Amino acid sequence: MTDLKQSYSVRLNDGHFMPVLGFGTYAPDHTPKSQAAEATKVAIDVGFRHIDSAYLYQNEEEVGQAIWEKIADGTVKREDIFYTTKLWATFLRPELVRPALESSLKKLGLDYVDLFIIHVPFAMKALEKCKDAGLTKSIGVSNFNHKLLELILNKPGLKYKPTCNQVECHPYLNQSKLLEFCKSKDIVLVAYSALGSQRDPQWVDPDSPHLLEEPILKSIAKKHSRSPGQVALRYQLQRGVVVLAKSFSEKRIKENFQIFDFELTPEDVKAIDGLNRNLRYDKLQLLWYQDDAGLCLLRQSCWELQTGAVPIQPFWNGLPVRE
């Protein structure tokens, strides 16, 4: 990936194209959902065409409204927008997958999404059926390591391999080995928390370091007359990573898009590579259990299972995915 123009997209292994810079719409629970709509409209006006959301974010109605307003005023056409949604863990049973996607489509007011991915490491053939039905153009995964990806890729009869793997990725967690593996398998790595997370106390340790205060990033930014955030985003693009930028601030949304008109030197990239410390901001703890209704998964930070928890094994097309 050498020619990073504003309109630059990466070709997925199924032939579709994904813009290399995306707008993330997650916000903490205390943030009014209306802000997601306003921020998405600003993002589209600025030039973002890749919009990333999820059932879990509980804002797809507002994000969909924003997209349609920008279609109505002539800023974009539907085909200009690359929209991603995610299957949350409460819909993992095969018969619940398509209804979950159809529910998102109804909230969005869309006939299809461009990418439908599994939010947590668990998988099944039902996503392939959603692609066959035309409800999504591409399918992928999120938060998978290379061993889990290998289980999918080596499964006999696999119809569509994942087009992408969306993971936490930033200079403190550069995922270099996973990136190398994904490239070797023609799977695009998509980086979330690329600016070091929004520090939501529900997920993030308050004592964790502030990425954008990192002296090396600040020094490189000063050299290029840029912000540390712009440097962190540009770093991912030059590594061949699709990157998601999250902000509801109009100033920062505009700033985050202005990363196509400068280039980091090999020395800059090497210095940023050296910041890796395998530090995760998003410490999502998951609890699997089984009840009379089937398989469920809880966020331990949000819910507590009171009784009856039993260990279970998640599967992708019949293969266990726990190590």
Closest to 308 in 3D by CA, of 292, 319, 323: 292
Give the per-residue pLDDT at 33.
87
Give the per-residue pLDDT at 243.
98
Give the Cα separation of 60 and 72 in Å (integer). Answer: 18
Q: Which residues of 177-195 are buried (b: 16+ CB within 10 A; e: fewer)?
A: ebbebbeeeebbbbbbbbb
Please report, for residues 67, 198, 281, the alpha-carbon distance to residue 194 in angstroms, rounded to integers and kept in the order given: 24, 10, 10
For residue 6, the one-letter residue type is Q
For residue 134, the one-letter residue type is G
Instruction: Kindly report, residue by residue over 184-228, the tens digit of the pLDDT.
Output: 999 999 999 999 866 666 666 777 889 999 999 999 999 999 999
Helix/strand number for the chain, H first, E second? 10, 14
- The residue whose two tokens read 């009840």 is 291
Residue list, annotated binding site for substrate? 119
Q: Extract the residue ranges of the chain whose pLDDT is less than 70.
A: 1-7, 121-125, 197-204, 283-323
Q: For the chain, how many residues are written? A: 323
Give the per-residue pLDDT at 202.
65
Phi and psi torsions of 117, nearest 5° = -125, 155
Residues facing 168 on adjacent strands: 192
**Would you call 26 a catalytic residue per the annotation?**
no
Give the Cα separation of 19 and 299 in Å (integer). Answer: 30
The conformation of residue 155, written as its DSSP 8-state character, comes to: S
In sequence order, the 6+-apart residues with CB closer than 8 A to the CB of 156 are none
Model pTM score: 0.85
Give the per-residue pLDDT at 94.
83
For residue 133, the one-letter residue type is A
Instruction: Kindly report, residue by residue over 39-77, the tens digit of the pLDDT.
Output: 999 999 999 999 999 988 889 999 999 999 999 999 999
Active-site residue (options: 55, 57, 172, 235): 57
